[in-house]
């Protein structure tokens, strides 16, 4: 019996030992080295640290690659294509009629009165002066009208309109050459250079943007020069105008030398063989001497490339007589070749056209009739007078 108990204890101990020892031996075992891809076997898709090497692997040659995603097409900026500007003043006549109707209709009403007495002539004179026609042109016009009233019957509205129209057109002077020189020079292929000057806020930058559109509509290649380095936003504004019609803008660092930007713009225009380079300038008048020195320098530096073709003076029509003073100051420094009268949609003082032409002896070539991109029109005396008379 004792023997049996001892034998049973031995069996139990043996079982316990077997259970305890077997796992310990396994933990101590050194695992065989993992086969190395590329050394011990051809690497396959799906090889990674955890994948059992025994797993079936796909050879590279059998791998199906996903179809290449079609490359996203670059978003082309939408380049606007404005309508040509010829006859635009006629189309914008309603703008003139709206802003100048007081002036035109008032004159017509007075002139078609049955009796043109001295009081009426005085009223006519006052109306013309209020419209900023200026003293001398007003006197000339009243004298002409008086003469015609004496020799012709102008008492009917139709007759008064015909006479007034003829006399106003003559005063605006259709004989002046209003061509804008924006064509490439035939002799050497150099682009036309247009320098735009004027007091700040008159609408220079806006006018250049609109003018670029006019030229693009006529199939011309244009480069813009942002030489108003005084106001960083002016260069941004100009660049935005240019981008809309695919016209590049040359600009410099804020506060940089305007003459250098203007020079670079013309240089770029020559290299790119464009038709016209339009240069914007700063226009702060509070430092009159500084401003004028700067303008003179810009012009001189540009002229190292060749003569400037147009110097356009931008005048805000709503500033009245002040605009004339500005015209005088600018005229002393640069040879102005044309006037751009902006904001004519916002004033009844259309007489400024005549006054400023007389002041500078140069023609109004363009007029601004609104803030819209195509609200700039080549000036046409007859369409202008028709707009005034409604």
Ligand X SMILES: Nc1nc2c(ncn2[C@@H]2O[C@H](COP(=O)(O)OP(=O)(O)OP(=O)(O)O)[C@@H](O)[C@H]2O)c(=O)[nH]1
CA separation for the pair 42, 40 (Å, rounded): 7
Contact 257, 301 (CB under 8 A): no
Residue 62, token pair as written in the block: 């059998």
Q: Does 202 bind ligand X (CB under 6 A)?
A: yes
Q: Which of residues 276-305 bind ligand X (CB under 6 A)?
A: 283
**Binding-site string for ligand X from residue 161 to residue 200, where x marks contact by CB under 6 A and - marks none:** -------------------------------------x-x
> Is 231 a residue that touches ligand X (CB under 6 A)?
yes
Contacting range for ligand X; rule: CB under 6 A; set: 31-39, 203-211, 260-268, 298-306: 203-211
Least distance to ligand X, CB of residue 131, Å: 18
Q: Is 183 or 236 the residue whose CB approaches ligand X more closely?
A: 236
Is the Cβ of residue 127 or residue 281 nearer to ligand X in the bound state?
281
Q: Please, which residue, 138 or 326, has the CB nearer to ligand X?
A: 326
CB closer to ligand X, 246 vs 346: 346
Measured from the CB atom, the residue of 112 and 206 that comes closer to ligand X is 206
Cα–Cα dist 338/360, whole Å? 9
Which of 132, 228, 309, 359 forms a contact with ligand X (CB under 6 A)? 228
Q: Is 347 annotated as a binding residue?
A: no
Binding residue (CB under 6 A) for ligand X from 161, 220, 343, 349: 343
Smallest gap from residue 371 Cβ to ligand X (A): 4
Region binding ligand X by CB under 6 A among candidate stretches 178-186, 219-227, 354-362, 366-374: 366-374
Binding ligand X (rule: CB under 6 A), the pick from 206, 249, 337, 347 is 206
Among 182, 205, 229, 347, binds ligand X (CB under 6 A): 205
234 lines the binding site for ligand X (CB under 6 A): yes
CB of 135 to ligand X, least distance (A): 26
Q: Which is nearer to ligand X, 138 or 207 (CB)?
A: 207
Instruction: Determine whether the annotation assigns residue 284 to a binding site.
Output: yes
CB of 240 to ligand X, least distance (A): 12
**Contact between residue 382 and residue 174 where contact means Cβ atoms under 8 Å apart:** yes
Classify strands 376-378 and 364-368 as parallel, antiparallel or unpaired. antiparallel
Contacts of 314 (CB under 8 A, 6+ apart): 196, 197, 198, 202, 203, 204, 207, 339, 340, 342
The string over 107-133, giving b where at least 16 C-beta atoms fall within 10 Å of a residue's C-beta and e elsewhere, is bbebbbeeebeeeebebbbebbebbbb
Phi/psi at 210 (5° precision): -70, -40
Q: Is 244 in the site for ligand X (CB under 6 A)?
A: no
Among 104, 134, 137, 203, binds ligand X (CB under 6 A): 203
Residue 283 labelled as part of a binding site: yes
First-residue to last-residue Cα distance in the chain: 141
The residue (of 100 and 205) whose beta carbon lies closer to ligand X is: 205
User: Any known ligand binding at 204?
Assistant: yes
Does 322 show up as a binding residue in the annotation?
no
Strand partners of residue 195: 279, 311
Strand partners, 342: 316
Tell me: does residue 338 bind ligand X (CB under 6 A). no
Residues making contact with ligand X (CB under 6 A): 198, 200-206, 228, 231, 234, 283, 342-343, 345-346, 368-371, 375
Annotated binding site for GTP: 198-205, 280-284, 342-345
Extract the annotated binding site.
198-205, 280-284, 342-345
């Amino acid at each position: 019996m004792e023997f049996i108990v001892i034998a049973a204890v031995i069996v139990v101990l043996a079982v316990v030992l077997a259970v305890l020892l077997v796992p310990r031996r396994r933990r101590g075992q050194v695992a065989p080295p993992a086969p190395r891809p590329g050394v011990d076997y051809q690497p396959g898709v799906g090889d990674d640290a955890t994948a059992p090497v025994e797993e079936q692997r796909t050879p590279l040659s059998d791998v199906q690659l996903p179809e290449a995603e079609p490359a996203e097409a670059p978003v082309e900026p939408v380049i606007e294509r404005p309508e040509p500007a010829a006859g635009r003043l006629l189309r914008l006549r309603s703008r003139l009629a709206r802003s100048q109707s007081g002036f035109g209709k008032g004159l017509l009403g007075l002139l078609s009165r049955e009796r043109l007495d001295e009081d009426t002539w005085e009223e006519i004179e006052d109306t013309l002066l209020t419209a900023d026609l200026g003293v001398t042109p007003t006197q000339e016009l009243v004298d002409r009208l008086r003469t015609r009233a004496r020799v012709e019957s102008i008492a009917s509205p139709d007759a008064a309109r015909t006479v007034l129209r003829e006399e106003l057109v003559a005063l605006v002077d259709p004989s002046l050459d209003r061509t804008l020189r924006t064509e490439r020079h035939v002799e050497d292929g150099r682009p036309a250079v247009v320098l735009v000057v004027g007091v700040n806020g008159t609408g220079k930058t806006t006018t250049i943007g609109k003018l670029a559109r006019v030229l693009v509509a006529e199939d011309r290649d244009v480069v813009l020069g942002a030489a108003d380095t005084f106001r960083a936003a002016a260069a941004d504004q100009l660049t935005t105008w240019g981008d809309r019609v695919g016209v590049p803008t040359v600009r410099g660092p804020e506060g940089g030398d305007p003459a250098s930007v203007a020079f670079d713009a013309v240089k770029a225009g020559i290299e790119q063989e464009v038709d016209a380079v339009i240069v914007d300038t700063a226009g702060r008048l509070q430092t009159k001497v500084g401003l004028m020195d700067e303008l003179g320098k810009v012009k001189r530096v540009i002229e190292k490339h060749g003569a400037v073709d147009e110097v356009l003076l931008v005048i805000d029509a709503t500033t009245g007589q002040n605009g004339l003073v500005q015209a005088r100051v600018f005229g002393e420094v640069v040879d102005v070749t044309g006037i751009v009268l902006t904001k004519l949609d916002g004033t009844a003082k259309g007489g400024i056209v005549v006054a400023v032409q007389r002041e500078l002896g140069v023609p109004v070539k363009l007029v601004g009739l609104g803030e819209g991109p195509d609200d700039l029109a080549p000036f046409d005396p007859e369409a202008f007078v028709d707009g005034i008379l409604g």
